[in-house]
Amino acid sequence: MTEKIIFALESVYREPLEIKAFCFGDTSKKTICIMGAMRGNEVQQMYVCARLVQELKILEINGHIAKNTGIMVIPCANYHSMNIGKRFWAMDNTDINRMFPGYNLGETTQRIADGIFTEIQGFEYGIQLASFYQPGRFLTHVKQMVTEFTTDDGLAYFGLPYALKRSPKPYDTTTLNYNWQLWNTKAYSLFTHSTDDMKEDSAENALNVIMRFMKKREIINYPIHAGYVTSIINESDMLQIHSPCGGICRIKTKIGDVVERGQIIAEILNPLTCEIFAEIEVPEKATVFFHFESPLIVEGTVIFKLVKNNDF
C-alpha cells in the first residue's frame, strides 16, 4: 500500500486540509478509483472506504490483487466540514460535488474539485460512494448516469437486486460522475442505507458489492459471493408518490416490502390532534424502494418511490 496526499489546502485558523489517497497494486496503472465522502455528513461513505482500505491491505499482502492493475481509494475529501457537522463546505456552504471538473484559480471548492480530478481522471473505472439528497430509507443500489459518453454497462457486476439508469439533468454536468464519463471513465454511484450514521451491516454489504465488482472485472482474485441477478430499471419509470399535505408522517411499511394495490402504506397526521389528514394508498402492486423518514413532512414532498411489479 502506498499512501499519498493528492491535494493540500492551507488554512488560517486550523490545520491544512490534506486529502489522502491509498493506492494498491501497480501504482503506475489507473484501473479503478473509489471515491468516498465529499460532504461533511457522509460518515458511512467514509467508513466504507476505510473498511475497503483495510481489506485491500490484506489482499495485497497475500497476492490477491491482479498484476498490471492499480487501485486508488480516497476515503474523505471534506473532513473540515465533517469535523463541525456541516454537510457542505463550512465557509460558503457550497457543494464540492457540484464543482467538477474544478478550476484551480476559482473558489475554494472549485480548487478542491480541480485538485481531486487532476489525480483521478483517466481511471478505467470509477465508483463514488454517494449520498441521497432526500431524507429517508432506500434499498442499497448502484446508479449509472446515461450520457453520450456512456461506453459500458457494468451495473450487473455489482450483484445488487436493483440498479438504476438515470438521464442527467443540466445540474448534473458539474458532478464527479458526469465528468468522469466525459474523460472516458466508466463511472458508477453506489448508495447505501445510511449517510450520517454508521451501520455495520450496510457498510459490510457495500464493501462486498465493491469487492464483487472488482472480482468480476478481474482486478482482484479472491472468492466472493456472486450476489443477485440484478434488475436494471430506469429511474424515470419508478412510481413517485407525493404527500398531499403537511403534518406528521407515519410510515406503515418497510423498504423492500412488496405492497398491493389499495394498501395503506403511510398516514399524514395533524401535529396537534393526531387526526388523520391523509392516507397514502398504493396505486398498483410494487416494491418499496424508498420512503421518507423525517417525522415532519411538507406538502408535495416525495414520500415513496416504488418499483413497479412489471419492472421485475
For residue 127, pLDDT beyond 70: yes
Rounded CA separation 141/138 (Å): 8
Burial per residue of 25-43, b for 16 or more beta-carbon CB atoms within 10 angstroms, e otherwise = beeebbbbbbbbbbbbbbb
Which phi and psi (to 5°) does residue 182 adopt?
-60, -35
- What average pLDDT does this structure show over 254-283? 97
Confidence band of 310 (pLDDT split at 50, 70, 90): low
Closest CA to 167 of 232, 99, 236, 238: 236
pLDDT at 168: 92
Rounded CA separation 70/120 (Å): 12
Which phi and psi (to 5°) does residue 159 adopt?
70, 30
| Residue whose grid cell is 431524507 | 135
**Could you give the domains of the chain?**
2-233 (3.40.630.10), 238-311 (2.40.50.100)
Confidence band of 195 (pLDDT split at 50, 70, 90): confident
Closest CA to 71 of 127, 118, 151, 144: 127
For 59-68, the pLDDT digits (tens) are 999 999 999 9
- For the full predicted model, state whether its pTM sits above 0.85: yes
Residues in the chain: 312
- What average pLDDT does this structure show over 264-290? 97
Rounded CA separation 44/76 (Å): 11
Rg, Å, the chain Cα set: 20
Q: Is the dihedral of CA 252, 256, 258, 261 positive or negative?
A: positive
Confidence band of 147 (pLDDT split at 50, 70, 90): confident
For residue 311, pLDDT beyond 50: no
Which phi and psi (to 5°) does residue 225 adopt?
-60, 140
